[in-house]
Structure 1
Amino acid sequence: MYLDATTSISDLESYLNAIGFLDPKTEQIRAVEKPGEGNMNVVLRIRTDKRSFIVKQSRPFVQKYPQIVAPIERIDVEYRFYKAVTNKAIAPHIPEILTYNADNHVLLLEDLGDCKDMSYLYGERNIEASQLDQLLDIASQIHTSTPKAYPRNMELRLLNHQHIFVLPFLKENDFSLNTVQEGLQELALPYRNDEPLKKEIAKVGQQYLSEGNTLLHGDYYPGSWMAKGDHIYVIDPEFSFMGFAEFDIGVLAAHSILITMDTDCLQTIKSRYPGRLNGLLLAQVAGIELMRRLIGLAQLPLKRSIQEKKLLLELARALILDKSS
């Protein structure tokens, strides 16, 4: 059964009753809302006369881009992630699992309440030191989790690999960057013809597809962070896999640079992360993430001038090619 915002309350009650979660004789649904714009999955907030909770359901395509095929099993990976991160320090930063219905690819989660997606940081052009420390601590707690077995998540990784390491750097593709911002297409061309750059990107891409020994969130950027006052939650771990810590932390560093336009973020993050990191790999991941967010399909709510984007792309290239990190 597919659920969405148009599903009737009676059908929702029947479904939730059928999976043993809600008895409509004792609890009635009062409202169904969209808590935000989901990228990968259908996400609903259901309010009853007793509580509220979140329903997530995966489809065999990306919710925001239905033309992109994606593995429907990704919701199982999200479920497995939440089950794997069991240490007490991280529990306050992730939603509680309420129930999981594998047959319909549905995960029911705690409603975190009045939170805001931390994509607002791009507009503020600032990330507080306390926020950065909290995000690094959460990442470290994820990375030190030790699941006995974990899904390879290879189908979703292959999809992500294309959008991070391949498509933004094709000489010809069907995505016109000038529809995002006039002049961006021309800005991207030198990087799409830069063979030494693309060779290094391909090497990191192969490492991304290799098996590692560290549990990763896999999409550690502001769209996966939720703020409630000074407290941060981390959600949407469907891209998670066993890999290398530099991937999550490099993505965090890239978005910190996009937010602040301050290149010192990279060194700050490296020095504050509690674990050991490979400086070169960290810098390369950060550079690749900067580039793919500027000249790839997965655009951000980022208001930066063409000159600022030019500087960011130049920085990204230097991070990828400079072997002295």
Structure 2
Amino acid sequence: MIYLDTLTPLPIIEDYLRSKSWLLASERILSVEKPGEGNMNVVLRIKTDQRSFVLKQSRPYVQKYREIEAPLDRIEVEYRFYQSVRDRNPANPFPKIFGYEPNDFILLMEDLGQCEDMVSCYDTRTLSPGLQTQLLHTLNEIHLKTPPPDFLENMALRQLNHQHIFVLPFMEKNGFELDKVQPGLETLARPYKKDLALKKVVDSLGEKYLSKGNTLLHGDFYPGSWMFKEETVYIIDPEFSFLGFSEFDLGVMAAHLVMITMDTGYLEHVFYGYEGKADKKLTAQITGVEIMRRLIGLAQLPMCRSLDEKRLLLQNAKQLILS
């Protein structure tokens, strides 16, 4: 397996791409750069004298937290997802796939150009109604797709995600130093880690997450996976995809809109704006879990909220989980 990154000499990258017939005969690489801060994988923007594209490679660990092991085949899950959702509609909100090399766990895809992800919404505390509508429509379109019968279970990555969503944030001794995130956060989190009734419901939701469903999910439908350019939405990073229950994607989306706006009314907006079928209680419970794990778990967001605001979010999240 070859490892490619920004430190790899350009001739080596060029030779590799040419060996896969991914470069045109006369094409030359001009530069390689990181298009953004990836969490899970190595992501490179490769600029040639004729175009630019994105190369994505999985490693046996989480790129941002290298001490955490992660399955290499997550890149295959991403490839299979894109194959499942793409159609001939020119307005398709997913990047085009130019190549896939399973032996090196490399995916070559369209460079969406000067798109921005939506993490800035945590600072602006708003997301336009038009973008919200597009996101809900796209989510419904994903859930309507029929994946191939051999679509991967993605169980190893789901088990890792399960730990960070449903288990570790609710453990009293989990190694997370929350006061380094924000002084006072550990004290704020402690009652929820001791709440047995809360943890019992969260455990049952975690079991459902690990069970097999029949709906194609994105698996990580939050602002870091939402891109936009000129009020048009694009969706990336589906490596957490699996066949599950629609309420998981819906609840995650609702949770982030609630954290962006500090308004729990967005749960209603997401639920009733969704075109498919979903259970409201289950959606609300997933919303609550996602809010909690983003506030008191390892996967912190680039979001500035006061302790009082986080206290309110945690209180609301508990009510949603126990609803």
With normalisation by structure 1, the TM-score equals 0.97
Residue 281 of structure 2 corresponds to residue 280 of structure 1: yes
Whether the 8 Å contact between 2:86 and 2:92 is mirrored in structure 1 is no
Q: Distance in 1 between matches of 2:90 and 2:303?
A: 29
Query: Which amino acid counterpart does residue 57 of structure 1 have in structure 2?
Result: Q
Whether the 8 Å contact between 1:151 and 1:241 is mirrored in structure 2 is yes
Residue 272 of structure 2 corresponds to residue 271 of structure 1: yes
In the alignment, which residue of structure 1 is the partner of 2:168? 167
- Cα displacement (A) at 1:86: 3.1
In the alignment, which residue of structure 2 is the partner of 1:155? 156
In the alignment, which residue of structure 1 is the partner of 2:246? 245
Q: Distance in 2 between matches of 1:4 and 1:202?
A: 39
* CA gap 1:43/1:261 in 2 versus in 1, 3 angstroms: same
Query: Which amino acid counterpart does residue 169 of structure 1 have in structure 2?
Result: F
Query: Which amino acid counterpart does residue 289 of structure 2 have in structure 1?
Result: I
Q: How big is each residue's C-alpha offset from its partner over 1:155-190, in whole Å with a ceiling of 9 and x where there is no partner?
A: 000000000000000011211100000000000000
- Cα displacement (A) at 1:276: 1.4
Query: Which amino acid counterpart does residue 132 of structure 2 have in structure 1?
Result: L
In the alignment, which residue of structure 1 is the partner of 2:304? 303
| Matched-pair identity in % | 55
- Cα displacement (A) at 1:91: 5.4
- Cα displacement (A) at 1:87: 3.9
- Cα displacement (A) at 1:217: 0.1
* CA gap 1:256/1:78 in 2 versus in 1, 3 angstroms: same
Residue 112 of structure 2 corresponds to residue 116 of structure 1: no
Whether the 8 Å contact between 2:179 and 2:185 is mirrored in structure 1 is yes
Report SS of the residue matched to 1:103. coil
Q: Distance in 2 between matches of 1:179 and 1:66?
A: 20
Q: Distance in 1 between matches of 2:319 and 2:264?
A: 11
Q: Distance in 1 between matches of 2:120 and 2:289?
A: 22
Residue 17 of structure 2 corresponds to residue 10 of structure 1: no
- Cα displacement (A) at 1:89: 5.4
Whether the 8 Å contact between 1:86 and 1:145 is mirrored in structure 2 is no
Query: Which amino acid counterpart does residue 51 of structure 2 have in structure 1?
Result: R
- Cα displacement (A) at 1:90: 8.6
In the alignment, which residue of structure 2 is the partner of 1:255? 256
In the alignment, which residue of structure 1 is the partner of 2:131? 131
Whether the 8 Å contact between 2:75 and 2:239 is mirrored in structure 1 is yes
In the alignment, which residue of structure 2 is the partner of 1:74? 74
Q: How big is each residue's C-alpha offset from its partner over 1:9-58, in whole Å with a ceiling of 9 and x where there is no partner?
A: 100011101112125x5111011111001100000000101110000000
Q: Distance in 2 between matches of 1:89 and 1:278?
A: 30
In the alignment, which residue of structure 2 is the partner of 1:53? 53
Gaps of 5+ in 2: none
Q: Distance in 1 between matches of 2:183 and 2:95?
A: 40
In the alignment, which residue of structure 1 is the partner of 2:32? 32
Q: How big is each residue's C-alpha offset from its partner over 1:208-258, in whole Å with a ceiling of 9 and x where there is no partner?
A: 000000000000000001111101100000000000000001000000000
Whether the 8 Å contact between 1:117 and 1:223 is mirrored in structure 2 is yes
Whether the 8 Å contact between 2:153 and 2:243 is mirrored in structure 1 is yes
Query: Which amino acid counterpart does residue 207 of structure 2 have in structure 1?
Result: Q
Residue 170 of structure 2 corresponds to residue 201 of structure 1: no
- Cα displacement (A) at 1:148: 2.6
Report SS of the residue matched to 1:93. coil
Q: Distance in 2 between matches of 1:96 and 1:127?
A: 26
* CA gap 1:157/1:90 in 2 versus in 1, 3 angstroms: farther
Correspondence list, 1:181-200, <5 A: 181-200=182-201
With normalisation by structure 2, the TM-score equals 0.98
Report SS of the residue matched to 2:243. strand
Give the count of matched residue pairs. 321
Residue 44 of structure 2 corresponds to residue 44 of structure 1: yes
* CA gap 1:204/1:41 in 2 versus in 1, 3 angstroms: same
Whether the 8 Å contact between 1:89 and 1:141 is mirrored in structure 2 is no
Report SS of the residue matched to 2:61. coil
Query: Which amino acid counterpart does residue 304 of structure 2 have in structure 1?
Result: K
* CA gap 1:88/1:17 in 2 versus in 1, 3 angstroms: closer
Report SS of the residue matched to 1:104. coil
Gaps of 5+ in 1: none
Q: How big is each residue's C-alpha offset from its partner over 1:187-209, in whole Å with a ceiling of 9 and x where there is no partner?
A: 00000000000000000100000
Query: Which amino acid counterpart does residue 60 of structure 1 have in structure 2?
Result: P
Whether the 8 Å contact between 1:167 and 1:173 is mirrored in structure 2 is yes
Report SS of the residue matched to 1:54. strand
Q: Distance in 2 between matches of 1:315 and 1:206?
A: 23
Report SS of the residue matched to 1:92. coil
